[in-house]
Amino acid sequence: MLRGHNLENAKTWLRLSDKRELNPPLALHKELIHVSEAAKGQLGTDIFLSYSRTDGDFARELNTTLQEAGKTTWFDQESISTGVDFEKEIFKGIDSADNFVFVISKDAVESEYCEREVNYAADNSKRFITVLHRAIDPTTMPDALRKINWIDFKDIAFDKSFPELVQAIELDREHAHQHTVLQQRASDWAENNRSADFFLNATACTKAENWLKEAVKNDKQPPPTPLQQAHISESRQAIVAADAVVTKRNKTIFMATLSGMFIAFLLAIFAFIQMDKASEHLQNAKTRLYHAKVQEFSETNPTVALRLAEEAKKLDPLDETLDKMLEDIYANGKFFYRPPLFHDGNVKSAAFSHDGSKIVTTSNNKATVWDMLGKEPTSLGHNEVTYATFSPKDNFIVTTSTDNTATVWNMLGEELATLSRSDDDKTKSAVFSPDEQFIVTTSTDKIVTVWKVSEKVLVKPVTTGPDDEVKSVPDGQSIVPPSTTKTAKVWKLSEEKEVPVEEVATLSGHEDEVKSVVFSPDGHFIVTTSMDKTAKVWKLSGEKEVRVEEVAALS
C-alpha cells in the first residue's frame, strides 16, 4: 500500500485525473488509494531506514530493492507528508518498525539527526542492522552501532550483499514483530499515566508472557525492555485482581443462590407437611361424614348405606369403625332390598333396568315392573306378554305378545305406542338401539322389523330385514342377525334416509349354519359362531361405507 508522500502524490493525481476523459484513473487505482488512506497510521513496517542525506541515492536504491523483495519500509522520502512535525513522524516510524537499518558512512555517523534516531531506537531496544556504504573509522561509531557486524555494500557488489540483508531481516521475524507490538502497547500505557485502560487483556497477556519467557530463556535479540516487562506484569496483576473480584462475586452469588434454594427447600417441606396435614384433616372429615351417612341409611335404606360404605373404603381400606358398621348391616340381613316378587304362574323372563333400580318380569301373560326401593309394583296392561326389557337409557320399556304386537311404555307404566304388523306371525322379541332411536322386532316368520322413534312417539315400520334374534352395534348404526344359512348379514341404520335400512356387508366363511352373533363393546369387531364347530372374528370399519374383513378363526 502507499504511504507518506507517495500516498499524498497519489491522492493529488487522483483528484486531478478523475475528471479527464482521456486515460482516466482505473477502479483499481481508486481502490488502492482509498485502502491506503484508510490504513494510514495503522500499518506496521519491517524496516526503518536511517541514512545521511549525502547517501540519499544509495538509500533510495536500497529502499526500492527492499520493497521489490516484499518488505515494508519506512523511508522519510516516502513516509513523511508535508506540513507535519518531522521529528515526531521519524520517532513514530521507528516505533512501528521491527528493524532499524542504518546506512554507515562518515556523514551519517556525524549527523545530529541520525544520532537522535539511533539513540531513540536504542532506548526502545530496536534490533539494529548496519549496512556499510562508505569507509569509516569504527571507533567513531555510537556504541549501539559499533557492536553490530555490518553488511558490506562498499567492497561487495550490491546484488551480492542484498540477500545477506534480507536474511538478517528475516531472522526470528516473529520475535522482532512481537517486540515492536508490545513496545508500542507499553509506550501507549506509559504515555497515559499507566492507566488500567491500557492493560493487556487475558489472551494478549498470556501471549506476551509466553513471548517474554521465551525471549529471556533464549537470550533473544532485541531483548525485552523494562517498560514491556512492567506492562506485562501489571497487566497480569490486574487480571488476577479482576478474576478474584469475579470469583468472590460468583461465590457470593452461589452462596446466596444456595441459601435461597435451601430456604425454598425448607419452605417446600413445610408446605408439603401442611398440605399433608390438610389432606389428612379433609380425609378425616370425609370419613366422619361417610360414617354418619352409613349409620343414617343402615336401617332405612341398606343398599344406599352399602354404596356409601364402598366409597368410604376407598378413602381408608383399614377403617375398623366402618368394618363394624358393615358387619351390623350384614348381620341384620338388610344389605339389599328384597321385594316380594310373587307371581301367579311361571316367570318367562326378567330384566334389570340399567341403573339397577327396577326389575321387569313376564309371567302368566302379563308384565310387572318392580321397584328395588319397595314401591308398589306396576302392571303393564298388555295381554299374552312373552318378553319385556328396558331401553338402554331407561326411558322406555318394550313388551312383546302372542297377539303379534309389541308395546312401548314409559317408566310410569303409560302406553306410548303399539307396534303391529298386518300378518299373523307372532312377535318373538324386541330390542332398542343403544341411542333409543330405533326398535327392532323379530317374529316367527324369520323377518326382522325396524321401527323408528321420533320425539318419543313411535311411527310405522320403515323397512324389514331377515331372520332371527338381532344384535345391534354399540354405536346404534348397524345390526347383524344370525342366519340359518352359512352367512350373516350386516344392515346399516340411518335417520337421514327415508328408508333407513340397507344391507352393507355379508359375513361369509362358515361351512355350516350361523347360530349366534355378538358385537364387541366398542363396536369394532363381530364374533360369529357356527355349527361347523368354529367361531370367527370380523373387523367392522368405515363410516360412510361399511367394510368387514375376517381377522381370526377360532376352532
The secondary structure of 96-151 as a DSSP string is HEEEEEEEE-HHHHH-HHHHHHHHHHHHTTPEEEEEE-S---GGGS-HHHHTSPPE
Statement to judge: residues 25 and 86 lie in one domain: yes
Output the pLDDT for position 79.
Answer: 55
Give the mean pLDDT of 328-352.
Answer: 71
Name the β-bridge partners of 350: 361
486 and 442 in a common domain? no
Residues 448 and 537 in one domain: no
pLDDT at 106 over 80: yes
Which residues, listed in sequence order, are joined to residue 431 by a DSSP beta bridge? 440
| Closest of 121, 118, 225 to residue 182, by C-alpha | 225
Q: Are residues 403 and 513 in the same domain?
A: no
My answer on whether 37 and 167 are in the same domain is yes
In a domain, 235, yes or no: no
Answer yes or no: is 483 within a domain. Answer: yes
Tell me whether residue 281 is in a domain: no
pLDDT score of 429: 77
Average pLDDT of 108-132?
Answer: 92
Mean residue pLDDT across the chain: 81
Same domain, 30 and 89: yes
Pick from 8-17, 251-260, 434-443, 492-501: least confident: 492-501
Pick 211 or 478 by higher pLDDT: 211
Is the pTM for the entire model greater than 0.85?
Answer: no
Domain that holds residue 525: 471-555
468 — pLDDT class (breaks 50, 70, 90): very low
How does strand 127-132 pair with strand 97-104?
parallel
**Is position 316 within any domain?**
no
Cα–Cα distances in angstroms (integers) from residue 272 to residues 260, 262, 285, 517, in the given order = 18, 15, 19, 56
Please give the DSSP secondary-structure letter assigned to residue 540.
E
Residue 540 and residue 417 share a domain: no
Q: What is the mean pLDDT of residues 312-327?
A: 79
Do 487 and 404 lie in one domain? The reply is: no
Answer with the one of 435, 466, 497 that is the final residue of a domain.
466
User: Rounded mean pLDDT of 483-506?
Assistant: 70
Same domain, 451 and 428: yes
- CA angle (56 as vertex; 53, 57 as ends), nearest 5: 155
130: number of Cβ within 10 Å: 22
What is the number of structural domains in the chain? 3
Average the pLDDT over 489-501 and give the result: 65
Average pLDDT over residues 332-341: 58
Question: What local confidence, expressed as pLDDT, does residue 61 receive?
Answer: 93
Tell whether 263 is covered by a domain.
no
User: What confidence score (pLDDT) does residue 340 get?
Assistant: 65
Q: What pLDDT, on the 0 to 100 scale, is given for residue 467? A: 46
* pLDDT tops 60 at residue 326: yes
Residue-level pLDDT at 472 = 47
DSSP 468-492: SS-EE-TTSSEEE--BSSSEEEEEE
Strand order across the 396-401 sheet = 385-390, 396-401, 405-410, 415-420
**Residues 6 or more apart whose Cβ sits within 8 Å of residue 194:** 234
pLDDT above 90 coverage of the chain, percent: 19
- Predicted local confidence at residue 404, as pLDDT: 79
Compute the average pLDDT of residues 423-434: 74
Examine the pLDDT at 122 and tell me if it is beyond 80: yes
> Which CATH number covers residue 439?
2.130.10.10
More reliable by pLDDT, 466 or 479: 479
Same domain membership, residue 212 and residue 96:
yes
Distance from C-alpha of 24 to C-alpha of 28, rounded to nearest angstrom = 12
- Average confidence (pLDDT) over 253-274: 87
pLDDT: which is higher, 446 or 257: 257
Is there a single domain that holds both residue 143 and residue 69?
yes
Mean of pLDDT values over 147-161:
91
Same domain, 52 and 177: yes
Residue 40 has pLDDT above 70, yes or no: no
Most confident option among 219-223, 336-340, 369-373, 423-427: 219-223
pLDDT of residue 488: 80
Answer whether residue 424 shows pLDDT above 70. no
Residue 474 confidence class, pLDDT cut points 50, 70, 90: very low
Question: For 42-82, how does the pLDDT look when each residue is reduced to its tens digit (9 = 90+)?
Answer: 556 889 999 999 999 999 999 999 988 888 888 876 655 55
Residue 460: predicted pLDDT: 46
In a domain, 320, yes or no: no
Segment 156-165 shows an average pLDDT of 93
DSSP string, 145-178: HHTSPPEE-SSS-HHHHHHHHHHHHHTTHHHHHH
Domain annotation covers residue 255: no
CATH number of the domain to which 138 belongs: 3.40.50.10140
Cell numbers for 358: 327396577
Confirm whether 245 is domain-assigned: no
Per-residue pLDDT averaged across 311-315, rounded?
A: 79
Residue that finishes a domain, picked among 202, 217, 232: 217
Per-residue pLDDT reduced to its tens digit, 176-186:
888 888 888 88
CA atoms of 65 and 24, how far apart (whole Å): 29
- Boundary-marking domain end, from 217, 249, 271: 217
Q: What is the pLDDT of residue 183?
A: 87
